[in-house]
Amino acid sequence: MDTHINSLSYFRSHWTVWKIQGIAYKQIYWRKLYLFYSLLIILFITIGYPLHLGMSVFQSDNLPDDLKNLTIFATCLACSLKIIIYAYNFDKVYKMEQLLRQLDSRVSGKEETYIYNQLKTQLRNILFIFISIYLPTGVFAEMSFIFQDKRRLMYPAWFPFDWRNSTRNYCIANIYQIVGLSYQILQNYVNDCYPAVMLCIISAHTKMLYKRFERIGIKDTGDSEVQKELEACITDHKRLLELFRTMESFMSLSMLIQFAVTALGICVSSATFIFFVTDPMGRTYFFFYGLAMPLQIFPTCYYGTDTELWFGKLHYAAFSCNWTKQSRSFKKKLMLFVECSLKQSTAMAGGMVRIHVATFFSTLKFAYSLFTILLRMQK
C-alpha cells in the first residue's frame, strides 16, 4: 500500500462543518458544553431560522419580497430537514469510514495509484462547484440588503419584537439573519457535497477493483495464491456494495427532499427574475440563486450514474483475467461472483427516484412545467 492513500482526508472540511453544526459530539472532549451548544444551534438555527421565515410567507404587500421569502424559506426548511436526517443517521458515517480504510489498504500498483490521483482532481472540481454556488448567492443576498433604499430585513421574516421602530432591535434582527444564513450555507454545503464526494470515491474504488480483477492470474504464482487473489477481490466487492448501500440509506430521504426543492426553487426564481424584480442587485441575486439550485444536485446525480456504470462493468473485468488456465474451483468462484455482480446497483432517493443524471434532467423538466403553469396563471 502507498502511504499517501487516505480517502478520509477528503472529508476534513465536512468534519469541520459537522462540528460547527453541533452533530459531531463523539469528536469533542467537552461533551456537556458541546451538547449545550448543539441544543442552541438546533433551537435557534435548525428550527428557528426556517420558522421565522415561514411565519411571514405571503404576508408582505410586495410580491417580489414574498417570492424571495418563499424561495429562501423552502431552501432553509429543506436544509434543516436534511441536517436533522443526517444527524439521526450519523453513526453510518463512522461505518462508511471504516469500510473506506479497508478499501484504501487494498490500493496498489501504478494503475490504481493513477486512478487515485485522478480522484484528487475530480474532488477538487466538486469543491469548486459548491464554492461557486454558495459564494455568489450569499454575497449578492447581502449586497441587495446593503444597497436597499429604506429600512428592511435581508429576508422578510417574523420577529417577536418591533424591529421597524427600534434601531437596536433592527440590528439584532439583521445580525440573526446574517449569522443564521451563514450557518444555513454551511449546512447546505455539507448536505450536498458529502454525498457527491462519497459517490465519487466509491466510483474510483470500483475502477480500482476492475483493474485488480484484470491482474488475477497474470503472474504464475500457483493455484492457491491465485484463488486468494480472487477471494480478496470478491471481499472488496462485498465491502464496496456495503459502502454503497450504507451511503444510499444515509442520503436517500434527503436527496428526495432536495429534488423537490430544486424544482420549486428553479421555477420560482426564474419567474421572479423575469417578471417581478427590476432592481439590478435583486435580479443578480435571483439569477445566481436559480443557477445554484440545479448545480446542488448535479454532482451527486453524475457520480450516482458513474457508480452504477462501473458496478455494471465488473463482470467484464472478471472475464478479462487469466481464468482459462485456472482450476475448476477457481472457475466456480468466479462464476458465482459474476452472477452476483450482474445485479444492478442503483442509488435511490426515498426508494422511489433514481439518483441519476436522467433524474437531474427530469427535475429541470418538472421545474419548466411548474413555470408554464405560473405563466398561464399570470395570463
Domain boundaries, given as residue ranges, for the chain = 7-378
pLDDT of 62 reads 67
Percent of the chain residues past pLDDT 90, beyond the cut: 38
Place of cell 451538547: 35
Reference 147, options 244, 309, 283, 253; nearest CA is: 283
The whole-model pTM stands at 0.90
Cα–chain-centroid distance for residue 109? 31
Q: Give pLDDT tens digits for 282-338.
A: 778 788 888 888 988 999 999 999 999 999 998 888 888 878 788 888 888 889 888
H/E/C letters for each residue in 103-119? HHCCCCHHHHHHHHHHH
Q: Mean pLDDT across the stretch 161-181?
A: 88
Q: Give pLDDT tens digits for 334-367.
A: 898 888 888 888 899 988 899 999 999 999 999 9
Residues 6 or more apart from 104 whose CB is under 8 A from it?
Answer: 1, 5, 6, 7, 8
Q: Which helix (H) or strand (E) holds 302?
A: helix 280-311
CA distance 242 to 44: 36
